[in-house]
Structure 1
């Protein structure tokens, strides 16, 4: 075999080995671009009580006052300030009893209860890089290995398809294997830069799992947090003034020294207080990522009991900037809503590329359909490409059907996701392929339509009609997306039925 043929073999076999894992990672990662919107949608009782969003500084004042009253002696506070994407304050604090998290009305200061105990969109984010509920280190190690093989498959794919740019402009419909190859080419060219960047940056983020020996030798077993601290800051902030005062200064003393907007247009996003109401208390204000790709966002630090501005020089070395940019690019925090939509669409188009590649592999070996390997690939294709979206939609629907006060709901939502996915695997085993495909298409479409309908019944104040009337786009946008995708699935099922069932029996 010549060099190109060797690359073709590597592309085919390396690709098929991790293809379903890559599909899982990229589908859940694409959804995770909108995890904040899904978090808000998953807790509709909270947003329905918010009439308008105050300024970020006013929201921060409300959160500070509440924590200073109710978590006076906590070890740490961390607040995510209400904004357009998440119109409520997210309060987190840690005390002797453990960690606490609450949503707060940024106008009145009251805690929003009852709030559904749900992972919401964070579930897909955790799935994406830890294969939740696997232990974090184990799941991330598997993802890192998949990323390595995936990058090899990308490079060998480019070498294999030497006429890939020419073939990008060719699509032969209804030509069986040729159509799948053309679809694989077109979607591959469109998503190649995106997948290459995401695969590479994802691997860099998880480098400590792939190449852990240097960190272990230099920092010891528990040295990873220290390593990341050094990557961010050259030294820690220290007060030059000596003060034994324990009570923190009024919040307005800090606000007076903060800009409403930075030169890049960033506004206040988070603030954290370490050791509140002690002589060593430090308060840190972080601005958002608008127009900033790296995680080196504007930051303002004060001694909390004197309101003295403190310096904490950032590590701006080339390596530190590369590491920070890697996170920023991969996570897309800098992105506007439309940019995140484009990134999510690229991820979904890449999923089409993966599905076309798997079906092409299967089509080329149609004469081996009686063999175990062929049947295994066929079942994995059904289980992943159609079963996984079915499980995703089931998870979202279950989140609407469970009562808001159901304490164990987050655990049962995750169980429903995996149960639905395994159910899909069972359906693929007992039904003929064409019937199983039609079942998945119709069932997924039906579940997608049921989500906004169930919202109207279970949470009428967050129904699509109400959210459109009150211009609550965080809620309305999610429901409208479900309806749109449901129509696409219904259209696909209609087309598939006419193709394979129009004569009363499958062809």
Structure 2
């Protein structure tokens, strides 16, 4: 630790950010991509082109078609889970428990909202992979992975708060960017990225911890309910306990009148999910959950009906307790599903600013430490390791993401476990980016990986045109702005990465900017030297190339 409060906070800011910086970068970037989860999934499943139902009558007909399909497909399943189509996700996802299935005992299918029949869409996780990866990683035990991400998020919160304390001129520095000055330019970029969306950074980090609070801080609920999680969920969230099957056959009532009743109860709100317990049994229940996109709070509004008679059994979420509603609002702020296009765009830009903040922070430490080590005449293994991981994490992750999109278009449609092989391609590409700096060190590794990412992203619209019929030549005239916008966004990312590669390639370390005549510190009596040329204060990064 350093002497003085601000110096101690500077030390805490540096190390709390550095130790988990690469995980935080991946979490921020994939979490930002998760704001476009429906759009990514639509692009990665070009076979899905059916518009979502709009009128209440169409919605009721769609829900009934989906229920009829499940009755034919999984009549003996103990539970069905149906996600109804919406404007951004105009298809239906269905899951059902199947004791004969492997893994966790679930099966799933993508259904056409008009006919209720399965769609012959290519196997892919789509945007769901990025959403899941940003809080539970991959290839790992899920609880362990969520603990790791929670731990890193705690460090992130510490880094943000200590950074605010450390940089007493943080808001003034927001309006100061000095290009071409090496480390000082990185420091300016770090400050701008941090302050540009500081409220968002605080909100997204803290609410991210709240989403996993029952895992990281379970002791209160465990003590109060003596380990009975079902009783806890029933009292706090209104989730009904599943009834035991009666063993008496009874067909399910039509779901349309139940949807109409729920809409009246929610003052015009619509159901987003249907859950059926014990279908075909006298003790069956149909649970309707209001769409997440209609409310800020993620605390669900639920209505439970008897599946055999249609009688209303219970409601929940209409008048939630303050603690549950507070948690629901924080959860809703984190996932951002309540917002319209403008708010989602602001969240997306803020997420990119957070990603840049983490990346520039990792680079700052490496540049400053190498400068100090070079003065001592020896650059240690730790500095070289951080530089290596910076290249692989910051420049390599975009390459991995683009590779996954390429795999989506190039893998055979009938390949077994095709969705898993897309993800394998993601990690294979990322692994190669980890090995690449061993062969091409320093600036060359940065330039080549950024250039590879630019090429992969920039050519994706062309690959899409060569392999599907949902390319820009079709989607733009048809007004399919979701897919067209995604193609254009891929092209924009490619151009941005190409610009970064060009800037890094043209940078010449140690080439100080030429001073203007008469502009030096000694040009006039009493003139103050430029702050960037002064020796760094105690605890402040060195402003040097």
Tell me if TM exceeds 0.5.
yes
Aligned to 2:18: 16
1:157 deviates by 0.8
Structure 2-normalised TM-score? 0.84
1:145 deviates by 1.0
Aligned to 2:392: 383
Which of 439, 450, 454 pairs up with 2:448?
A: 439
Which of 276, 301, 304 pairs up with 1:301?
A: 304
Which of 471, 475, 484 pairs up with 1:467?
A: 475
Q: Write the distance in 2 (CA, Å) between the matches of 1:301 and 1:210.
A: 30
CA offset digits 1:395-419 (Å, max 9, x no partner): 1211111122212222222221111
Which of 191, 195, 205 pairs up with 1:199?
A: 205
Which of 58, 62, 65 pairs up with 1:62?
A: 65
1:385 deviates by 0.9
Aligned to 1:5: 7
Which of 99, 108, 112 pairs up with 1:101?
A: 108
Q: CA RMSD in A?
A: 2.6
* Aligned positions, number: 494
Secondary structure of the 1:310 match is strand
* Residues 250-289 of structure 1: pairs in structure 2 closer than 5 A: 250-259=254-263, 262-263=266-267, 266-289=269-292
1:454 deviates by 2.0
Counterpart contact for 1:104–1:110, Cα < 8 Å: yes
The change in CA–CA distance for 1:6 and 1:251 in structure 2 (over 3 A counts) is closer
Q: Write the distance in 2 (CA, Å) between the matches of 1:219 and 1:17.
A: 37
Aligned to 2:383: 374
Secondary structure of the 1:257 match is helix
Counterpart contact for 1:78–1:271, Cα < 8 Å: yes
Counterpart contact for 2:83–2:94, Cα < 8 Å: yes
Q: Write the distance in 1 (CA, Å) between the matches of 2:460 and 2:365.
A: 35
Counterpart contact for 2:263–2:269, Cα < 8 Å: no
1:219 deviates by 4.6
CA offset digits 1:359-402 (Å, max 9, x no partner): 22222222415211211111111111101111111112111111
Secondary structure of the 1:91 match is strand
* Residues 447-466 of structure 1: pairs in structure 2 closer than 5 A: 447-459=456-468, 461-466=469-474
Q: Write the distance in 2 (CA, Å) between the matches of 1:237 and 1:495.
A: 59
1:184 equivalent to 2:190? Answer yes
Q: Write the distance in 2 (CA, Å) between the matches of 1:52 and 1:284.
A: 22
Aligned to 1:162: 168
Aligned to 1:345: 349
Aligned to 1:329: 333
Counterpart contact for 1:237–1:312, Cα < 8 Å: no
Counterpart contact for 2:332–2:338, Cα < 8 Å: yes
Q: Write the distance in 1 (CA, Å) between the matches of 2:344 and 2:108.
A: 27
1:457 deviates by 2.3
Q: Write the distance in 1 (CA, Å) between the matches of 2:241 and 2:496.
A: 53
Q: Write the distance in 1 (CA, Å) between the matches of 2:474 and 2:303.
A: 40
1:429 equivalent to 2:434? Answer no
The change in CA–CA distance for 1:51 and 1:257 in structure 2 (over 3 A counts) is closer
Which of 493, 504, 519 pairs up with 1:496?
A: 504
Secondary structure of the 1:227 match is helix
Counterpart contact for 1:246–1:277, Cα < 8 Å: yes
1:141 equivalent to 2:147? Answer yes
Q: Write the distance in 2 (CA, Å) between the matches of 1:229 and 1:337.
A: 35
The change in CA–CA distance for 1:402 and 1:336 in structure 2 (over 3 A counts) is same
Where structure 1 has 5 or more consecutive residues not aligned to the other structure, the ranges are 502-506
CA offset digits 1:300-319 (Å, max 9, x no partner): 33212112123234472222
Counterpart contact for 1:237–1:310, Cα < 8 Å: no
1:235 deviates by 6.2
1:217 deviates by 4.2
The change in CA–CA distance for 1:340 and 1:224 in structure 2 (over 3 A counts) is farther
Counterpart contact for 2:296–2:333, Cα < 8 Å: yes
Secondary structure of the 1:293 match is coil
The change in CA–CA distance for 1:261 and 1:318 in structure 2 (over 3 A counts) is closer
Q: Write the distance in 2 (CA, Å) between the matches of 1:279 and 1:211.
A: 39
Secondary structure of the 2:188 match is helix
The change in CA–CA distance for 1:423 and 1:430 in structure 2 (over 3 A counts) is same
Q: Write the distance in 2 (CA, Å) between the matches of 1:25 and 1:245.
A: 48
Structure 1-normalised TM-score? 0.90
CA offset digits 1:123-148 (Å, max 9, x no partner): 11121111112110110111111111
Secondary structure of the 2:261 match is coil
Of 165-174 and 133-142, more deviation after overlay is shown by 165-174
Secondary structure of the 1:38 match is helix
Q: Write the distance in 1 (CA, Å) between the matches of 2:206 and 2:279.
A: 40
Aligned to 1:504: none
Q: Write the distance in 2 (CA, Å) between the matches of 1:350 and 1:207.
A: 22
Secondary structure of the 2:292 match is coil
Counterpart contact for 1:266–1:290, Cα < 8 Å: no
Counterpart contact for 1:245–1:305, Cα < 8 Å: no
1:438 deviates by 1.5
Secondary structure of the 1:312 match is strand
Q: Write the distance in 2 (CA, Å) between the matches of 1:286 and 1:148.
A: 32
Q: Write the distance in 1 (CA, Å) between the matches of 2:477 and 2:416.
A: 31
Which of 169, 177, 182 pairs up with 1:171?
A: 177
